[in-house]
Amino acid sequence: MRFAGKFILSFTALLIYCQSDVYAQNPNDNPSSLVAETIKRLQAKATTENLSNARNVGFGLLKSDNFAQAEIVFAEILVKSPGDGLSLYGKALSSFNLKRYAEAETAVAAANNLFKKQKNNASLADGLVLSAVISAVTGDNPAAIEKLKKAIGIMPTHFDAHFSLGRAFFGNSDLDNAVNAFRQSVRLQPKNIKANFFLATALERSGDSEAALNVYRELIKIAPNVADGYLGLGVLLIKTEGVNSAEAIKSLQKAVTINQNLYEAQLGLGKILLQQNKSNEALIHLRKAVELLPDNPEPHYQLLQVYRKLGKKSEAEAEQIIIKKIHENHRGSTSAPR
């Protein structure tokens, strides 16, 4: 099981700011109209109420992934009230999600300075987490780790800080610290699907298969209609118990029932069924694996074995050609001049 060393920003903390009745409508219905009306009110009169309502509109737009529209709202608020720390934070979130990382870091640094002066520890911790995320996605994991430790020092119960710290440690292959950080995030939010899945993955990678299996099983109890737990459990059981594990097969079958686009589950089922001489069943899953990752030679190789067992000579030869071409393309891309 793998996951990238990048950070996925959780909006857990920011959404507490979005509590205004102004945002009762769904911004996806007409976000442009909502933004226009919000700015019109601000320009007519920048009262405390209008500024607060506009801020809530901005955070609501972030919640619904309308990042460019949110940025417009926060920019207008900051024209009227340059010292509005939460709007600087909102602008930073908007810029981050629009992949304008330098702008995001400038805005969040300004917000954090204001939060520090105001002794607003909750918002300062949020800001430090965002700043850490920016550091991570721009390749500075050490800086990210230091910022996250500082956020936890300010607010020890900050879920996003612990969870992101686990991601940062995992990205550095520091598995012991990653496990500890993910354990803390699970303590803070026991039913959080991502936290449990990442804890299990880190335990698995660290070699503690028994603990990882327990967390995957717990995840299935927490989220029986989500594929993650079944996928993790099935793949790990194949590693620990072999292809005859009934629980592994059952778990992977459940995973693809929930989400047929899971490459690892489709490939794993295909390989198990092939080794159990159930070639026709294996064929279904391996073809889907090829559809999901056509440039990966592994499912093509497994398909080659299936076709040979089924006596499909022309199909087997076609897979051989595909595998050869994939390897040639890979060699060409790695040896090309930079």
> Letter for the amino acid at 250?
K
Tens digits of residue pLDDT in 193-228: 999 999 999 999 999 999 999 999 999 999 999 999
Q: Rounded to whole angstroms, what are the CA distances from 260 to 1, 220, 227, 266, 296?
A: 17, 17, 10, 8, 18
Task: Find the mean pLDDT for residues 143-161.
Answer: 96
Please tell me the predicted confidence (pLDDT) of residue 244. 86
Tens digits of residue pLDDT in 34-59: 999 999 998 999 899 999 999 999 99
Assigned token pair, 247? 């629980």
Query: Given a cut of 70, is residue 332 above it in pLDDT?
Result: no
Mean pLDDT of the chain: 89
Within a 10 A sphere around the Cβ of 65, how many other Cβ atoms? 12
The DSSP code for 189 is S
Please tell me the predicted confidence (pLDDT) of residue 243. 84
Q: Identify which of 251, 275, 277 has the alpha carbon closest to the alpha carbon of residue 265.
A: 251
Please tell me the predicted confidence (pLDDT) of residue 4. 38
Tens digits of residue pLDDT in 85-140: 999 999 999 999 999 999 999 999 999 999 999 999 999 999 999 999 999 999 89
Tens digits of residue pLDDT in 282-324: 999 999 999 999 999 999 999 999 999 999 999 999 999 999 9
Please tell me the predicted confidence (pLDDT) of residue 334. 52
The structural domains of the chain, ordered by start, are 1-172 (1.25.40.10)
Q: Identify which of 231, 322, 313 has the alpha carbon closest to the alpha carbon of residue 268.
A: 231
Measure the CA dihedral 238/244/245/248, to 10°.
60
* Whole-angstrom distance, CA of residue 90 vs CA of residue 67: 10
Asked whether the beta carbons of 126 and 157 are under 8 A apart, the reply is no
- Percent of the chain clearing pLDDT 70 (strictly above): 89
Q: Rounded to whole angstroms, what are the CA distances from 201 to 82, 219, 308, 324?
A: 44, 12, 35, 33
Torsion over CA: 316, 317, 320, 322 (sign) = negative
* DSSP assignment of 219-282: HHHH-TT-HHHHHHHHHHHHHHH-TT-HHHHHHHHHHHHH-TT-HHHHHHHHHHHHHTT-HHHH
